[in-house]
């Protein structure tokens, strides 16, 4: 897979956070934000008249805390939350699909908490409208946790999807994903009529890659080669992402 060409100043930028902009930590609250990163995000956003959005599994409130004082367009919880470039939130109305998914998550919540308790070192991250079981501290339990999650998904109905990630399995409403949120941003200024660029590192980013490819943009997978991906380009590490965004390069594209 090729290294991406230099970043176009006119491109619309969509960037995942953990594993892409930030090194993954044992727990989400332990990540470290490089000192110059908020200023870099601000510069990239200003160059594009605001056409930069962070698209993350974290809530938007988390993104604001991590990258303050930067506070631009963003999508949280894989697109369940969204803030436009002008600062306005997307409509908070809850539809039937959201209610069905919420009821399914309510049924799963105690079962997933029990699953995490059965594997010392695993833990349940409850983000309200998504649920994730992390097993980074007990990788040997990964196969058992993934199998149990698949069974619970099968029993839980069609409103949810299960996304296996880096030492985590996450249950999300099926009707929200990063591809759909990229498509939503692209209908609005200042993203309209720009070629989109999407950077991500994990399974949850594949919908975003596919949407960007469909629009003739640039999809970039971060990290060492691992399995199949819809991304057309690759950067080997978080460090290389920050260098590429800043327009510098010191790390070889291994």
**Structural contact between residues 55 and 74, judged by C-beta atoms closer than 8 angstroms:** yes
**In angstroms, what CA-CA distances link 173 with 38, 124, 141, 164, 170?**
30, 17, 25, 14, 10
**Structural contact between residues 21 and 62, judged by C-beta atoms closer than 8 angstroms:** no
Residue 138, judged by CB atoms within 10 A of its CB (0-12, 13-18, 19+), counts as middle
Pairing of strands 233-235, 218-222: parallel
> In the chain, what are the helix, strand and coil shares in percent, each to the nearest 5?
35, 20, 40
Identify any residues that bridge with 214 across adjacent strands, giving them in sequence order.
none
- For residue 226, give every residue at least 6 positions away whose Cβ sits within 8 Å of its Cβ, in sequence order, or none: none
- Which of these is catalytic: 8, 16, 106, 177? 16
**Structural contact between residues 163 and 64, judged by C-beta atoms closer than 8 angstroms:** no
- Indicate if 201 belongs to the active site: no
Catalytic residues: 16
């Amino acid at each position: 897979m090729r290294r991406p060409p230099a970043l176009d100043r006119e491109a619309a930028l969509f960037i995942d956070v953990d594993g892409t902009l930030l090194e993954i930590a044992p727990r989400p609250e332990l990540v470290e934000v490089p000192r110059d990163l908020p200023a870099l995000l601000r510069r990239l956003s200003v160059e594009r008249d605001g056409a930069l959005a962070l698209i993350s599994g974290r809530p938007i409130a988390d993104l604001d805390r991590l990258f303050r004082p930067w506070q631009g367009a963003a999508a949280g919880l894989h697109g369940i939350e969204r803030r436009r470039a002008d600062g306005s939130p997307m409509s908070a109305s809850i539809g039937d699909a959201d209610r069905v998914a919420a009821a399914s998550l309510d049924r799963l919540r105690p079962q997933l908490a029990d699953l995490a308790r059965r594997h010392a070192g695993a833990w349940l991250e409850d983000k309200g409208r998504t649920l994730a079981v992390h097993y980074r501290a007990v990788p040997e339990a990964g196969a058992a946790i993934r199998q149990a999650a698949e069974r619970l998904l099968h029993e839980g109905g069609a409103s949810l999807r299960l996304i296996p990630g880096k030492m985590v399995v996450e249950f999300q409403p099926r009707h929200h994903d990063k591809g759909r949120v990229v498509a939503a941003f692209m209908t609005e200024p200042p993203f309209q009529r720009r070629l989109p660029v999407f950077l991500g590192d994990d399974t949850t980013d594949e919908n975003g890659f596919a949407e960007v490819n469909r629009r003739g943009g640039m999809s970039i997978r971060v990290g060492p080669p691992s399995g199949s991906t819809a991304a057309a380009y690759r950067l080997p590490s978080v460090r290389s992402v920050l260098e590429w965004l800043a327009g510098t390069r010191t790390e070889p594209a291994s």
